[in-house]
């Protein structure tokens, strides 16, 4: 399950209701969809789209998205590092970045204009949006795997626009969840001096 870490406050939020309340002022919505028991072993991308068709239609309707697909990256994905380097630098998009994580784990760092930088670790069952224009960057966690449903307003428009005076290098891409909170000694290096 997702969790939020705010390095400047050394604060972690793991409760879903608290997470929703924390994210709402930034225009970020967070939901959890059932995964266990809904997909057979080794589902195809189409299996995933079929199983979540109702949820996908609802999100498209409310968010104005026109299409959805499935992305599947893992440690053996060709050119994985090159792919990740597009998104692990602080950037914005001209449309929302909406992701439902089916499996795997990653961390979005969010850099709002009106609040502190915070990391949202997402894993199976987590649905999140990064609003259009919100500065952010993304890293995979240790097993370098994530499989997501992506929603688009315009596939051609979903391009990273890099931020000048970016701050991503000041933050560790370390991932964790409420059940595996790092001890204090491991939290400290999250923000480098």
Tell me which stretch binds Fe ion (CB under 5 A): 18-26, 92-100, 171-179, 182-190: 92-100
| Min CB(52)–Fe ion separation in Å | 21
Sign of CA dihedral 64, 151, 4, 113: negative
One of 90, 95, 96, 97 touching Fe ion (CB under 5 A): 97
Phi, psi of 182 (to 5 degrees): -70, 145
| Min CB(90)–Fe ion separation in Å | 10
**Count of CB atoms situated within 10 Å of the CB of 20:** 15
Closer residue to Fe ion, CB minimum distance, 5 or 138? 138
| Min CB(86)–Fe ion separation in Å | 9
| Min CB(169)–Fe ion separation in Å | 17
Tell me which stretch binds Fe ion (CB under 5 A): 12-20, 43-51, 95-103, 112-120: 95-103
* Residue 73, CA atoms < 13 Å, CB-side half-sphere: 21
According to DSSP, the β-strands at 146-152 and 91-92 are unpaired
SS3 153: coil
**CB 45, CB 84: distance < 8 Å:** no
Closer residue to Fe ion, CB minimum distance, 15 or 69? 69
Tell me which stretch binds Fe ion (CB under 5 A): 7-15, 94-102, 142-150, 178-186: 94-102
Structure tokens at 73: 């990256």
Closer residue to Fe ion, CB minimum distance, 146 or 187? 146
CA distance 69 to 150: 5
- Contacting residues toward Fe ion, per CB under 5 A: 97
């Amino acid at each position: 399950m997702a969790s939020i870490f705010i390095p400047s406050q050394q604060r972690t939020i793991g409760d879903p209701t608290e997470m929703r309340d924390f994210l709402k002022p930034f225009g970020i919505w967070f939901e959890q969809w059932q995964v266990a028991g809904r997909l057979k072993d080794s589902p195809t991308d189409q299996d995933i789209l079929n199983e979540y068709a109702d949820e996908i239609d609802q999100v498209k309707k409310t968010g104005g998205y026109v299409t959805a697909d499935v992305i599947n990256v893992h440690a053996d994905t060709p050119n994985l590092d090159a792919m990740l380097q597009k998104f692990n630098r602080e950037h914005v998009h001209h449309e929302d970045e909406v992701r439902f994580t089916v499996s795997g784990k990653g961390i979005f760092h969010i850099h709002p204009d009106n609040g502190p930088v915070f990391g949202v670790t997402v894993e199976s069952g987590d649905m999140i949006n990064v609003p259009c224009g919100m500065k952010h960057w993304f890293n995979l966690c240790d097993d370098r795997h994530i499989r997501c449903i992506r929603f688009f307003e315009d596939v051609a428009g979903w391009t990273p626009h890099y931020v000048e005076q970016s701050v991503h290098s000041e933050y560790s891409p370390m991932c964790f969840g409420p059940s595996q909170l790092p001890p204090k000694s491991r939290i400290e290096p999250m923000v480098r001096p």
